[in-house]
Structure 1
Amino acid sequence: MSELTRKIVFLICFVTIYAIRFYFARQVKQNKITDNRKTIQETFLLSLTVVGMFILPLIGIFTPWLKFAAYNLPSWTGWLGVVVFSLAIWLFWRSHTDLSLNWSASLQIRENHSLVQTGVYQYIRHPMYAAFWLWGIAQILLLHNWIYGLSYIISFLPMYFLRISQEEQMMIDTFGEQYRDYMTHTGRVIPKLYQERLESEE
């Protein structure tokens, strides 16, 4: 796969994900927020992530400024990137669909918020974060550059590790033992396949 094709594929996938996010953001806009735990630190880390997922890749794709940091991977890695990004898009869309009006872009609880345990949420608690990790891997495979190829993974790391524990604490505060029980049979971003196999053998 040529460099131009990889960049075009990345842009198509990028636009698709933002179209999904825009659509669902409009859907939940009128749903009242009852618990808002957004902090300045979270806002800063979100901004840092935007640089890695949006600004640097676009600079790299549309300008020659970062060509000095290019690296070479075999041609087939581009096709693998397409597969990984496609999976990320599906998981991103499905996560929003399953959450419906319960979804929020930040640490917030909305009116009539319910604990979703169906669809992809019956296997993992944070499929949207899983989609972001897949996006980061796909970006490395499609954009062969040490700066804008790796920028998303690097910028997402601090955001993930800060927010994941805060989000789970918010859910525990809201749903109590119901959420604690939910945590016992689901993984954060990877399904607890080993546990499920043991339960099926009992």
Structure 2
Amino acid sequence: MTIATVGTIAWAIMVICWYVIRYPFERRAKRARVETTRRGAAETMRMLVSFTGLGVLPGLFAVTGFPAFADYSPSTLQVALGMAVAILALVLFRLTHKALGKMWSVSLDLREKHKLVTSGIYRRVRHPMYTAFWSMALAQALLVPNVVAGLSGLVGFGTLFFLRVGPEEKMMESAFGEDYRLYCERTARIIPGVY
């Protein structure tokens, strides 16, 4: 088995683990009443671009080898680093879901009786879910031995992040007012002490 194959398999395992972590929260969220939503055509497009970069293109590569012109041979160190970043991403992803509990939503929604979560991993970072997704996109870039499929996660998720984080924070400020503004003052968006 080549190191390129190991990387692709590690990426697939990361995606499976991501789904296993998310599935129970997704089921529970379908039963919870949404009080406020900012979903719409723009949000659907952002989600589609992100899903294409983090799922469709690398999945297509893993199954068919397309686009073969962008293949390269990764180093063992690169794939090992990708596996470490994937583990970090999954740990962050799990901690985020655990902290949010019933407040979790796949999109820009506020639940009935929604509470501002500032405990657990949210104590220092406002958007640890985005930190987890940035980490997954970086792991994908390191694990998938194809320039197009590997980097598509950074482009796809980056598009979603930069177009969504502003509206999301405005929605939270509108819902929680001064509490959210004070929370923003003492936390970073995605990397403690950096951004």
Q: CA deviation at 1:5?
A: 1.2
Offset from partner CA, 1:122-171 (integer Å, 9 cap, x none)? 01000000001001110111012111000110111221111101110000
Tell me if the contact between 1:28 and 1:101 (Cα under 8 Å) persists in the aligned partners.
yes
Q: What is residue 134 of structure 2 aligned with on the other side?
A: 133
Q: CA deviation at 1:50?
A: 1.0
Q: What is residue 189 of structure 2 aligned with on the other side?
A: 188
Q: CA deviation at 1:106?
A: 0.8
The letter of the residue matching 2:64 is: T
Query: d(CA) in 2 for partners of 1:65 and 1:54?
Result: 14
Offset from partner CA, 1:63-113 (integer Å, 9 cap, x none)? 133121013332111011011000000101110110000111111100111
Q: What is residue 39 of structure 2 aligned with on the other side?
A: 38
In our comparison, the structure showing a higher alpha carbon Rg is: 1
Q: What is residue 118 of structure 1 aligned with on the other side?
A: 119
Tell me if the contact between 2:8 and 2:145 (Cα under 8 Å) persists in the aligned partners.
no
Q: Does 1:177 align with 2:178?
A: yes
Off by >4 Å, runs of 4+ in structure 1? none
Q: What is residue 51 of structure 2 aligned with on the other side?
A: 50
Q: What is residue 197 of structure 1 aligned with on the other side?
A: none
Q: CA deviation at 1:11?
A: 0.7
- Residues 1-150 of structure 1: pairs in structure 2 closer than 5 A: 2-150=3-151
The structure where helix makes up a greater share of residues is: 2
Query: d(CA) in 1 for partners of 2:16 and 2:65?
Result: 22
Query: d(CA) in 1 for partners of 2:93 and 2:58?
Result: 20
The letter of the residue matching 1:173 is: S
TM-score (norm 1): 0.92
Query: d(CA) in 1 for partners of 2:159 and 2:88?
Result: 23
What SS class does the counterpart of residue 109 from structure 1 fall into?
strand
RMSD of the alignment, in Å?
A: 1.4
The letter of the residue matching 1:17 is: W
What SS class does the counterpart of residue 149 from structure 2 fall into?
coil
Worse overlay, 122-131 or 73-82 = 73-82
The letter of the residue matching 1:181 is: L
Tell me if the contact between 2:7 and 2:145 (Cα under 8 Å) persists in the aligned partners.
no
Q: What is residue 169 of structure 2 aligned with on the other side?
A: 168
Query: d(CA) in 2 for partners of 1:122 and 1:144?
Result: 36
Matched pairs, number: 194
Query: d(CA) in 2 for partners of 1:121 and 1:40?
Result: 29
What SS class does the counterpart of residue 191 from structure 1 fall into?
coil
TM-score (norm 2): 0.95
Tell me if the contact between 2:127 and 2:189 (Cα under 8 Å) persists in the aligned partners.
yes
Query: d(CA) in 2 for partners of 1:58 and 1:31?
Result: 31
